[in-house]
Amino acid sequence: MKLKSRALGALAGLLAVVALGGTATAADRAYSEGPVSVVTSLRVEPGQFNNYMNYLSSTYKPMMEEAKKAGHILGYAVYTTRARSADDPDMYLVVTYKNMAAFDGLSDRMEAIQEKMVGNQEQRDAATIARGKMRTMVGSEVIQQMILK
């Protein structure tokens, strides 16, 4: 019995050292993890810039504003750039979230907003097809801000 108690005591001590060591390591970091952004790279089709901007203003913006109001996102932005080649993006859509945990259940939380703003799944599919004629998605990446202490 004494051996079992000693083993459990040693294990508890080891766990405490590991836990405290992990806390000290996080506190010693020169940064903290900040907000997370999804950057979507797009190439607007020739002659479609104004049409796509109208879509962004009339549909995308109200959806993002509703998501922001609901606390699902921190913010969003639209950027244009000069493409270096025909294959490069000329527009970026950036949506910023509080942290990585914000992605848990996000599809379910956004469902109500999408249905309210665009309609049922059939209507959303049709809107996706129409939007595809205005722009081509080049890629998407997730980036996280590191806040220096």
Output the six-digit token pair for 33.
Answer: 């993890």
Distances, alpha carbon 7 to alpha carbons 1, 12, 20, 21, 122, in Å: 10, 9, 20, 21, 62
Counting every residue, how long is the chain? 149
Q: What is the pLDDT of residue 121?
A: 86
Write the CATH number for 125.
Answer: 3.30.70.100
CA atoms within 13 A on the CB side of 117: 19
> pLDDT digit string (tens) for 104-139?
999 999 998 998 888 888 888 888 899 999 999 999
**Residue 129 domain-assigned?**
yes
**Residue 18 domain-assigned?**
no
CA dist 14 and 104 (Å) reads 33
**pTM for the structure as a whole:** 0.79
Owning domain of residue 110? 31-148
**Residue 86 domain-assigned?**
yes
**Among 13-27, 40-54, 83-97, whose mean pLDDT is lowest?**
13-27
Three-class DSSP category at 65: helix
Q: What is the pLDDT of residue 23?
A: 52
**Residue 125 domain-assigned?**
yes
- Count the helices and strands in the chain (H runs, E runs): 5, 4
> pLDDT digit string (tens) for 51-69?
999 999 999 999 999 999 9
